[in-house]
Structure 1
């Protein structure tokens, strides 16, 4: 099949949506499908078109940015041209242009699949509220025109303003997750390179952004140091140039206060990411609101043998709920977050599971199989199989 995936940002930009689309595209290509990515050329150093590992990448120039979005006058014309070359159009929401893109897919009689990644929430302000509403209405319109709409978990869909209105078309598919095997050598080398010492390492992977709760995690440092004076917090991910967010700048006082116990690595990829996860005693995802829908990094850490502490939010709690590999805590409750981190560090063996159990639960092959069936128009199970951990 010829598959066209459409999203705003694509690799080397790093986000959960980008990683999702890249992994899916790579594995579909490996199975013999012809995959094209249509995204923004938000960085002018990116080529307009290229092939990487068999995946065709087409980028549309950006006129200007608006908060986390981009304005591209050539986006819809380019999409219309490419849709005529493909059997399936796969939109990654949120997209302001979701409804017109869906109309074009209908006009070209191209099968349309949507993956709903999150319900967008902008910072306060009348313009942001207007933009937020526009994205919601367009996504809902696109969903109503789609053949199927994919969500990560039924747990998250139950509270999503968009997915609650699209239940009749909903399919639940876990996101594509893969992680190479870690090694003791890599783990030790990572600790040495970043001067982490022998104390506990508390990890965070993701953008240093408001909804990720990075400031709440920093506020646990004094409580953690009372229990483990040699603990170190390591943040892996973009922090200085996060699109549409200024939490890093506002968190400078906290970062300065704990500079001896905090490391900011920037974006980490490949083997370095594997070593990071393996070096952590616990990974923390202290998300603050429902814009966080799952947290792929949780499963990636679990595949490296590292337990997780995450917020008790729909979708975010799913990996821990189905594996038992960690603790969930109320969002924005710093004492509870610190207590959960300390508990997992002290009793780490209680919260670890064999890698093959995690791989079976979050199988890449199962995810790609499910998408292939949707692309063909075949039915899939309404929810991933398997009992939840008790």
Structure 2
């Protein structure tokens, strides 16, 4: 198949959305599909991929007018939009005009007030989209409330983990880090709750003492200021900027708990939760993040309301003090990671099946 992926987030930027798009393109290419990624993300260096990458930097709304010529030239079997994007009001309609089937992965709402208004109008764009993939029931309910037809929504795990990389390195490995936070620190990713997490750390220092071992992994324009502010707390916090996969895996294999302190549902799922679980780390997840559904349904971690600082601090302090390698949560994590349901291989297989289903449906409709 010829697949075009429109990726709002892509390399060289880092984050869950970027990793999803890179994994999707690499995996489809490895299965023999002809993949082209179109992205508005600029790169100042030449990167080598096994698939084609077309970068259209600049204003996304203005650059959309370059897409007809590009799509006509490629003539893809499927356009897969990794969204939502700022050009959803025109890109699916353009594909429909060119008779290209459209599938969209709906990661999360835009965090800004203007973005949320835009999200609320998503139902108006649905008639140019064949299928919208969501990962959680809360996202499905959200889209249904925006008047999307149920037949257009497919609930499917789309955050797949490369289980050959993200895994426990050694069962006897010492868990010498109490808590890890992983997230981009800038205005665009403010929903990840890093400034609110700073307040939680202040309270943790009072409730649990200053001998806690905490690691912060991130990057972005707020990283240096966060580091400076956190130095005033008294906890020995270690920082790792823009960690590569290998560094992150080693770190998660040393950690007892990962915290995802998201302050809004713009977090979406938060794939770092799955990456941590595959490394044997127990997730502490915000009730606002989509992954809280997994944690609740499978009893594989703990749920907090990070906006309740004192309550959250008490919960985390108790968990760290009572950490046990034979905990029920780790048993649940083991059962999950022994299956293929969140593996990259399984996710890509289900995604390709969805592509083929859409193409069959279109073929049947033409035959009638």
Q: TM-score, normalised by structure 2?
A: 0.84
User: Which residue number corresponds to residue 159 of structure 1?
Assistant: 142
2:128 is aligned with 1:148? no
Note the C-alpha offset of 1:185: 11
Conserved in 1, the CA contact under 8 Å of 2:5 and 2:36?
Answer: yes
2:357 is aligned with 1:377? yes
Alignment CA distance shift 1:133-1:269 (3 Å): same
SS in 1 for 2:5: strand
Conserved in 1, the CA contact under 8 Å of 2:270 and 2:289?
Answer: no
Q: Distance in 1 between matches of 2:145 and 2:225?
A: 32
Conserved in 2, the CA contact under 8 Å of 1:159 and 1:314?
Answer: no
Note the C-alpha offset of 1:93: 1.4
CA RMSD, 1 decimal: 2.8
Can you list the C-alpha shifts for 1:79-123, whole angstroms capped at 9, x where unaligned? 54235421100011121211211112111111110111111121x
Conserved in 1, the CA contact under 8 Å of 2:64 and 2:91?
Answer: no
Q: 1:207 aligns with which of 184, 187, 191?
A: 184
Q: Distance in 1 between matches of 2:254 and 2:236?
A: 15
Alignment CA distance shift 1:21-1:136 (3 Å): farther
Alignment CA distance shift 1:340-1:34 (3 Å): farther
Structure 1 alignment gaps of length 5 or more: 63-69, 123-127, 192-197, 241-246, 380-390
Q: Distance in 2 between matches of 1:367 and 1:234?
A: 30
Alignment CA distance shift 1:186-1:89 (3 Å): farther
Note the C-alpha offset of 1:251: 4.7
2:219 is aligned with 1:238? yes
User: Which residue number corresponds to residue 17 of structure 1?
Assistant: 17
SS in 2 for 1:295: coil
Alignment CA distance shift 1:249-1:264 (3 Å): closer
Note the C-alpha offset of 1:72: 6.2
Structure 2 alignment gaps of length 5 or more: 360-368
Note the C-alpha offset of 1:171: 0.4
2:82 is aligned with 1:92? yes
Can you list the C-alpha shifts for 1:158-189, whole angstroms capped at 9, x where unaligned? 2357765343300011122224234249967x
SS in 2 for 1:73: helix
Q: Distance in 1 between matches of 2:13 and 2:120?
A: 24
Q: 1:357 aligns with which of 336, 353, 356?
A: 336
Q: 1:173 aligns with which of 156, 159, 162?
A: 156
Q: Distance in 2 between matches of 1:185 and 1:311?
A: 27
Q: 1:110 aligns with which of 86, 100, 109?
A: 100
Note the C-alpha offset of 1:254: 3.6
Alignment CA distance shift 1:176-1:41 (3 Å): same
Which shows bigger deviation, 200-209 or 10-19?
200-209
Q: 1:77 aligns with which of 52, 56, 66?
A: 66
Which shows bigger deviation, 160-169 or 80-89?
160-169
Conserved in 1, the CA contact under 8 Å of 2:256 and 2:323?
Answer: no
SS in 2 for 1:12: coil
Conserved in 1, the CA contact under 8 Å of 2:264 and 2:289?
Answer: no
Q: TM-score, normalised by structure 1?
A: 0.79
Can you list the C-alpha shifts for 1:295-349, whole angstroms capped at 9, x where unaligned? 1000100000000101113623023124322110124111222223223322343
